[in-house]
Structure 1
Amino acid sequence: MIRDLSRLLRPRSIALFGGGWAVNVVAQLKKSGFDGDIWPVNPKRADILGVPCFASIDELPGAPDASFIGVNRDATIDVVERLSAMGAGGATCFASGFLESESETAGGADLQARLIEAAGDMPILGPNCYGLLNYLDNVTLWPDQHGAIPVERGVAIVAQSSNIAINMTMQARGLPIAYVVAAGNQAQIGASAIASALLDDDRVTAIGLYLEGFGDIRALESFAAKARARGKPVVAIKIGRSDKARAATMTHTASLAGNAAAGSALLRRLGIIEVETIAVFLETLKLLHAIGPLPGASVCSVSCSGGEASLMADLSGGTNLEFTEFAASQRAALKAELGPIVTIANPLDYHTFIWGDVPRMTRVFSMVAAESFDLTVFILDLPRADRCDPSGYQCAVDAIIAAKDQTGARIAVLASLPENMSDAFTRQFLAGGVAVLHGMSEGIAAIGAAIEAGRMLAVAPEPLILVQDTAGRSSILSEAASKQALSDYGVRIPLSVQAQSIDELIEETAALSFPVVLKGVGLAHKSEAGLVVLNILDEPSLIDEARKMHIATPEFLVEEMAVGGLAELLVGITRDPTGTFLLTLGAGGVLTELLADTASLLLPASRTDIQSALKGLKIGRLLEGYRGKPAADIGALTDAVLAICAYAQAHAERLVELEVNPLIARAADAIAVDALIRLNDAEQNKEASP
């Protein structure tokens, strides 16, 4: 059900319930200059900060557009029910002790269910959340201090942590914040639905998500598609990578965190830019607000210091930033302007010969920005005003803004230290259309994210494969059965036979060609148990090895050995708790644990996605041909992976996990020499369900 959040997000009347927390909200509303109606409901007070109180909800002059409910959890349910009955526009539920506390205090889940029922069609935020801040319309439905100021346009932030949301409002980085909405437990309305509603405000330029869990994946998918259609980029921090973080998440909001690799793959699939720190989150949003997603990766760095130029180049190593060289004509023009001592290169150190000469600095800066770079970045740290005089740096500020005005290029200023760009200078740059980045590492990461945002906006993904994650009994297919199941979908496997005795083994292997591989059947981790023997060249050797192995296993699998391998790969598909299927591609065989070289995608995966993931692996160079060896048949290798995915998609309702390790890449084909498939025992689980 899609609920209309417009009255809640942009109210003209606000009701407040509770004691001290309601007082705080009134204080914030008065401080922000909210010019709508404020209706405190409190039978014990005549007024709150000069605003007259109503003795009961029945005395309200009408149905409020928004309400702050700051009473205990049991009373919250009653207030929500009465507001819903009178046609109120929505409410924020501050109280905790609902589902997020179920592991500590019994009854929280039941109370949350009752709260949802009481709300009916009326939208509610939370419970266990602070509320919302709308800096476009001076709506501060928030029971604590916050640090942002009114704006005409800006970014919207949806956070599952109210404290993190507060911290973000305190930033001194010049980020224009339009909305901050705390999602809390998301009992009725999830973060995706909130973010989707915020997209409808044309004054919102980009969306930031602080996520502890994904909730409704289809809702997130729908929001991402809507953001793409509106051309508004989305940035996210997804916590819960460590065991400790996941435990903290569960006690905080009861959100299903999911597997970290699957979470990252999900965000990437949906075109949502994932970052790891709050600083990079804010810098990325700021760059996207000021400039938008970058159309390419070509970046020019400009500074008056060789040290800054070198550090910029070093810190950008391994990122997607490309410092393309100047065109010959431009290099000549810059050389003529800057003189023989200055080396014309990107990153550019223009020295200090032109410092203080604003017209000349403007000419040089315009020459640089006029080139077809996707972003021109000026490195500029300004003196602190409390101990120094920053006026001597005004020439650089004026010249950069003038160059922006003359060229219309995408220009950003980057301070190598976050504190070396004051709020006053930040606002001056932003007013001139120049983005400002605080901190070199953070700034480079933000530029990389903006490049990625540009790439992601160009691709509309297929709908995800989603199944309900049902716990129950499962069974593992034998290696032979697993490989045969995959072979039915087009995966090439070695010719093989199974035998339950040495005599049967001798009879059955007559149809095989040597060399062969002998495997014991029925035990996991066969290699560690000594139940795999490779490269057996003749029948006597096979019989000898089988006799040795017969002590540990009653059954054998013999298969023709796959020769001519160029690289061994792992292909794994697992069902994530979120209901998605994670495809893992990586170095296989003995290198799986040693290299930890993997890439993750979600199903369905396209041929292009698979080939890009394979190319990005450390062993990707082996696939391309390394030190005189032939290249692997990437087309055949991709076909094998797609066939494995086809099996997974066809058996999605039952598949728990699937692993092919190794899938051997060869010059003319790819062949799966070991496989494992685990399936839910559908009938037994059906009988066991209530």
Structure 2
Amino acid sequence: MRPRSIAVVGVSAKPGTAGRTVLTNFRLNNFPGEVHVVGRTDGDIDGHPVKQSIDDLPEGVDLAVFTLPAAAVRDALEACARRRVRAVTVFSSGFAEAGNKEAQDELAGIAREAEIALLGPNCLGYTNLVDGLPVGFANAREVVRVPKDGRNPAVAMVSQSGGLMAFASLTLASRGLPVAYTVATGNEAGVGMPDFIDFFAEDDATKVIALYLEEVRDPQAFLAAARRARAAGKSLVAIHPGRGERGKAAVQSHTGALAGDYATMRTHLARAGVVLVETLEEWVDVIELLARYPEPPTKGPGIVTFSGGFCAIAHDFFEDLGLEMPPLTEESQAELAPQLPSYIPPRNPLDLGTQAIWQPELTGIGTTALVKDGNVGSVLIAVNSGTAKSQGVYAPHFIGALKGQRKPAILGFPAPELNAEFEAAARENGLILSRSLERSMRALARVTHYGRDLERAARSVAYAPFANLPALGRGAQPEWLGKQLLRAVGVRVPDGDLATSLAAAEEIAGRVGYPVALKAQAGELAHKTEAGGVLLGVDDAAALRDAWAKLHANVAAAQPGLVLDGVLVERMAPKGLELMIGAKRDPKWGPVVLVGLGGIWVEALGDVRLIAADMAEADIVEELGKLRSAKLLKGFRGAPPVDIAAVARTAGLVGRLMLTVPEIDEIDLNPVFVHAEGEGLTAVDALVITASERE
């Protein structure tokens, strides 16, 4: 990022070629170090003597920039290794993104062995606008430098798509927000996202790190770097395509990436302090918000408007985004009331109606009240003022109330034109102007959820391993062993035991009490219900003998030759609301926990919440309240409220298992019968899968 010497390799004498553009960039921006040129032309190019071979370079050049066809890259990289070049940037395409992963892996191996920081291949290069260093072939220009002392907020952009990075950086520049660095990482055969995040975490000029991700190739390194950047006070804002099947296919064809599980990634990114947005507009809006207001709010937004209709729309909009609009504090109401006309109630949203036409100072009074209010986390000015003249009347009051304060705020003026003086004053004071109220509300909601995610991450639980757990086999564990594991960690399961004979089944049933359930047990019996291996409501000893024979006949017909571990004999559990609690371990990202509506409904409706494995129980309760079926938890149509605390406790135990027993790949408790408040829950089915398939 700050080389003292550079070699441009593959330079042609022909003007306008990639190598000449790279050289011109160095000249236009007065690169102070040594520049070497390697090419086939005799003489000199742009005043630089042309060396015929990389082997003619002095030893220890900081950076080599390859403007070469893909076929020539390997030999050139090997030559750089011989000359102890420290870093290499490769623009060339034709590697993993084109299906040629083997050639890319060879480059990675050479660079790793020679300790070369390799950027690319298939990248557009990068710019360091703090030091005035553009390393790119697309165009030559003199860049505007960004102060390195951090006096003004600036953004560093790291992207696996050069085109989208250009879109975002140009959009931010049009808003007066400088971009200090842009890095197109390409296929990341060598250095990648984590390396640049670490660099920007320590850079004084950078306030926000903006990321376009098509694949996070080393999730654990990425998450660790994100946490370090967040600890250094930087915000990270990412966008990632590939939520749907077509998006995944497009990602693969673009960079050779293999898209991972989006929901799992989102959960881990939130835990590490990364905002993940869903649209390009939201990306730049959130970047600007966090650059200008680096302390994300945790409380809901406040609104000042001239429209009662917009108040209703805003309530609906924020509710859909999972936010409430908080009431003003009693102190704010008492302070506002004597300053407002009697017919304007001091509340949030604050509708000033038409009175502001005659009393424009009300806009400043109302805005100041929301800025000072302890219940309000952010402020949106939502004024549909259609003329530049009227904007000029209100502007001084809004700007006076907002300038210099730290609470996130947006001036929303969806007008055909903006008053030039108003716009200039807003930019001069570092305020955010928006022409879209919906985009403004979405951005404020996103940064509020970000603030809450950071609070929840700070409450994460450091779990100790469990003691005296049963030994697990490899692959899918039979239910009886999964339930032994649950008992050992404190999750209630039905009374019962494994029977290997009819006599043992009769003894167990007599001990736990009828009615009982019989369940065939074998790790290889993946779908025991479909195989007729589950018989419920067995009422007495005679029925037990008949059920025993029927169960064995059913399983023998469904899977001939299968040897059972035995039959699980359990007392029928009292009914309750059917939920599911599960967990899975992504091979790259790590574990996540799922809670949601269970039984057949988990597949039919998919009403689940994905949560971090180390989430505190109080936060799990909050997540349960976000289920579409949350009304069922609180009592519905005469049913009593269920024991939500027991669900949260059990989800926490499942998370603890995933974090402390690394051989477990998956846990599925479905259904879990959740009983009335204070009566706990019972896990009536349990599937535990260990790591044999991953190995």
* 2:39 is the counterpart of 1:42: yes
Q: Which residue of 2 aligns with 1:598?
A: 608
Residue type at the aligned position of 1:159: S
Residue in structure 2 matching 1:16, options 3, 8, 11: 8
Q: Which residue of 2 aligns with 1:572?
A: 582
In structure 2, relative to structure 1, the CA distance for the partners of 1:589 and 1:360 (3 Å cut) is closer
Q: Which residue of 2 aligns with 1:478?
A: 478
| Structural mapping, 1:645-660, within 5 Å | 645-653=655-663, 655-660=664-669
* 2:686 is the counterpart of 1:675: yes
* Contact 1:97-1:108 within 8 A present in 2 as well: no
In structure 2, relative to structure 1, the CA distance for the partners of 1:87 and 1:430 (3 Å cut) is farther
* 2:320 is the counterpart of 1:322: no
Residue type at the aligned position of 1:660: L
TM superposition shift of 1:493: 1.9
Q: Which residue of 2 aligns with 1:122?
A: 116
* 2:107 is the counterpart of 1:112: yes
TM superposition shift of 1:270: 1.0
Distance 1:423 1:38 in 2: 45
In structure 2, relative to structure 1, the CA distance for the partners of 1:479 and 1:301 (3 Å cut) is same
TM superposition shift of 1:513: 0.8
| Structural mapping, 1:42-121, within 5 Å | 42-44=39-41, 52=48, 54-56=50-52, 57=54, 64-83=61-80, 86=83, 88=85, 90-101=87-98, 104-105=99-100, 107-117=102-112, 120-121=114-115
In structure 2, relative to structure 1, the CA distance for the partners of 1:502 and 1:406 (3 Å cut) is closer
Percent identity among equivalent residues? 28
SS of residue paired to 1:170:
helix
* Contact 2:155-2:181 within 8 A present in 1 as well: yes
TM superposition shift of 1:677: 2.0
Residue type at the aligned position of 1:139: L
SS of residue paired to 2:491:
coil
Distance 2:463 2:61 in 1: 39
Residue type at the aligned position of 2:687: L
Residue in structure 1 matching 2:379, options 376, 379, 387: 376
SS of residue paired to 1:552:
helix
Distance 2:213 2:34 in 1: 33
Q: Which residue of 2 aligns with 1:586?
A: 596
Distance 1:186 1:613 in 2: 36
Q: Which residue of 2 aligns with 1:557?
A: 568
In structure 2, relative to structure 1, the CA distance for the partners of 1:552 and 1:439 (3 Å cut) is same
Q: Bigger CA drift: 620-629 or 575-584?
A: 620-629
Distance 1:402 1:640 in 2: 52
* Contact 2:618-2:648 within 8 A present in 1 as well: no
TM superposition shift of 1:290: 0.6
TM superposition shift of 1:218: 3.3
Q: Bigger CA drift: 74-83 or 499-508?
A: 499-508
* 2:141 is the counterpart of 1:138: no
TM superposition shift of 1:631: 3.9
Q: Which residue of 1 aligns with 2:284?
A: 282
Distance 1:233 1:122 in 2: 29
Q: Which residue of 2 aligns with 1:240?
A: 242
* Contact 2:583-2:666 within 8 A present in 1 as well: yes
* Contact 1:214-1:220 within 8 A present in 2 as well: yes
SS of residue paired to 2:320:
coil
TM superposition shift of 1:619: 4.5
Alignment TM-score, normalising by the size of structure 1: 0.83
Distance 1:360 1:440 in 2: 21
Q: Which residue of 1 aligns with 2:156?
A: 156
TM superposition shift of 1:193: 1.4
Residue type at the aligned position of 1:116: A
Alignment TM-score, normalising by the size of structure 2: 0.83
Q: Which residue of 1 aligns with 2:150?
A: none
Distance 2:479 2:81 in 1: 58
In structure 2, relative to structure 1, the CA distance for the partners of 1:399 and 1:648 (3 Å cut) is closer
The gaps in structure 1 that reach 5 residues or longer are 1-8, 384-388, 466-472
| Structural mapping, 1:375-454, within 5 Å | 375-380=378-383, 390-405=388-403, 410-416=408-414, 428-437=425-434, 439-454=436-451
Q: Which residue of 2 aligns with 1:468?
A: none
| Structural mapping, 1:528-547, within 5 Å | 528-546=530-548
| Structural mapping, 1:486-565, within 5 Å | 486-499=486-499, 505-506=505-506, 508-521=508-521, 523-546=525-548, 548-553=550-555, 556-563=567-574, 565=575
Q: Bigger CA drift: 262-271 or 405-414?
A: 405-414
Distance 1:307 1:588 in 2: 40
TM superposition shift of 1:316: 1.5
TM superposition shift of 1:214: 2.2
Q: Number of residue pairs matched?
A: 657
Q: Which residue of 2 aligns with 1:386?
A: none
* Contact 1:569-1:664 within 8 A present in 2 as well: yes
* Contact 2:509-2:516 within 8 A present in 1 as well: no
Distance 1:38 1:379 in 2: 53
In structure 2, relative to structure 1, the CA distance for the partners of 1:316 and 1:427 (3 Å cut) is farther
Distance 1:423 1:496 in 2: 78
TM superposition shift of 1:137: 2.9
In structure 2, relative to structure 1, the CA distance for the partners of 1:631 and 1:133 (3 Å cut) is same
| Structural mapping, 1:610-629, within 5 Å | 610-626=620-636, 628-629=638-639
TM superposition shift of 1:673: 1.2
Distance 2:518 2:420 in 1: 71
Distance 2:503 2:419 in 1: 84
Q: What root-mean-square deviation, in Å, do the aligned CA atoms of Structure 1 and Structure 2 show?
A: 3.7
